[in-house]
Chain A
Amino acid sequence: MSIIDLTSMGEPQSEQRKELNDRLTKLQDEISDYCFQCARCTSGCEAHKLLELEPHKIVALLKRGLINELVNADVIWTCMTCLKCRERCPQRVAPVEILFALKNIAVANGKQIPGKYTAMLQSILSIGLIQDIQQTTTRTNKTVKREELGLPPLSKPTDVAKFQAGIMKIAMEKV
């Protein structure tokens, strides 16, 4: 199994892509309708000042049906998932969830996954965790490893083949 199965979602995953699109359409038709553009989400947005993310504008663009533009915009990847927009929206719109859906579609459409996400995914596929045991250093620059600290063995999938078989089903799933 490769990462491609889970991300670019080639033919076998067309159902999943359809499902993602349905989810967005639902967000567009039902949820974004409630939004009255009060911009309360943007006023508390953690990514707003630093990276110019404006969640209320994301919702407005979605309402206008500009899904392709949104999916291809780099700004959707600046959300810090602080969840304040979801918490504070008087209309229960949850821009953070819209952003997750948009990013998922970007990935499903084969857009390049930014940064270290690919490496993390690869690591999950091979050992079940986003990274293996790291050597760390103390304040006085001594290197230490997990086992030297008397900590028990790492909990991770014991039968990797079976674990991968489960994940494989997500890549291949028909709804």
Chain B
Amino acid sequence: MKKKYALFPGCLMPTEQYAYELSIRETLPLLDVELVDVEGFSCCGEPMKSVNQLLTLYLSARNLAIAQKHHLDLFVPCAMCHLALTECQHILEKNPAMKDRINDMLVAEDLAYTEKRHIVHTVDLLHDEIGVQKIKEHVKKPLQGVKIAVHYGCHILRPRELGRPDDSENPQKIEAILKALGAEPVNYPQKLDCCGAPLLANLPESALTKTGQKLQAIQEQGIQGLVDVCPWCHKMFDSRQTKAGETVAAKLDVPVVYLTQLLGVAFGLSAEKLGLDLNLSPVEKLQLEAAK
């Protein structure tokens, strides 16, 4: 059965993290997911939480209201956006006064939030909705010999009470997906460490140090590479890897790929379709092309 979702792109993925969007658009339809492009979405509001939480709530609510107008559930590939929308829905459902207040403001755009939507991220969409078995059936080129570490990203794991895509202390869903693709997930002590991205706005040096420390630990353990599922995490680990290395005085050389890129390679899609030339880290070291 076909599943249908509005693709909620957020800000970062559609304005610079093109490899994530490309690989999402190439792989998910193969798994019977129909992605609908909807006009009018805005920032989820999460980046403004330190400045004005009411603004965060308002922006999230307007995006939920737009999805509602189209009678669509939401697929949200960014961890930050996923938390913002989920938390907003939680607040509006629990607090009728706040819901009224937000709806009073949404009138300006002829929008209203009245009913819950199903909100999924890449990890639960793949693991819970589509299922590992179905993924396995689509594998044409198993990723044999690819031994890789997993970075989940804080915002898809916590806070547990809001219902997150995976377990807050021992997430294993990406590992399960990787095994279905024929790859070998590698455990490492720093698995739950933050990527540093939330500090990029005001303390970029510290943000990059955080990134550098995690990558350095991975490199020192001789792990082949890292897989991630959030445009913010990927911006840090891949796009800014060289800079992150400078902050920890290390020459970093860790291939970093989106989970959906690996999915695509295993499904037999070309590197170009998956945006693999857009990764700035040395992904060729993973020898994905040689994967059979």
Give A residues with C-beta under 8 Å from B.
6-7, 16, 46-47, 50-51, 77-84, 86-87, 94, 100-101, 103-104, 107-108, 113-117, 120-121, 124, 128-134, 136-140, 142, 144, 146, 149, 151-152, 154-159, 162-163, 165-170, 173, 175
* Complex-state Cα separation, A108 to B54, whole angstroms: 12
Give B residues with C-beta under 8 Å from A.
9, 11-12, 14-16, 18, 21-22, 25, 37-43, 47-55, 58-59, 62, 101, 104-106, 108-110, 154-155, 157-160, 168-169, 192-194, 196, 198-204, 206, 209-210, 275, 277-280, 282-283
Q: Are B15 and A117 in contact (CB under 8 A)?
A: no
> Smallest CB-CB separation from B272: which chain A residue?
A149
Q: Are B158 and A87 in contact (CB under 8 A)?
A: yes
Q: Are A138 and B43 in contact (CB under 8 A)?
A: no
**Given that A117-B51, A149-B22, A151-B21 are contacting pairs, would A167 and B158 also be in contact in the complex, using a CB cutoff of 8 Å?**
no
Report 26 cross-chain contacts, Cβ distance below 8 Å, ordered by A residue.
A6-B51, A51-B206, A80-B199, A81-B154, A82-B198, A86-B158, A87-B169, A100-B53, A104-B51, A117-B202, A121-B48, A124-B43, A128-B41, A128-B42, A129-B42, A130-B11, A130-B43, A134-B15, A139-B279, A151-B21, A155-B37, A155-B38, A163-B109, A170-B55, A173-B101, A173-B105
> Smallest CB-CB separation from A114: which chain B residue?
B202
Complex contacts, A175 vs chain B, CB 8 Å = 101
Complex contacts, B51 vs chain A, CB 8 Å = 6-7, 103-104, 107, 113, 117, 121
Complex contacts, A140 vs chain B, CB 8 Å = 277
Q: Are B168 and A87 in contact (CB under 8 A)?
A: yes
Complex contacts, B275 vs chain A, CB 8 Å = 149
Q: Are A169 and B50 in contact (CB under 8 A)?
A: no
Q: Are B48 and A124 in contact (CB under 8 A)?
A: yes
Which of A47, A78, A136, A166 is B278 in contact with, Cβ under 8 Å?
A136
Complex contacts, A113 vs chain B, CB 8 Å = 51
Q: Are B15 and A116 in contact (CB under 8 A)?
A: no
* Complex-state Cα separation, A9 to B101, whole angstroms: 19
Q: Are A84 and B54 in contact (CB under 8 A)?
A: no
CB-based closest 3 A-B pairs: A115-B202, A128-B42, A83-B158
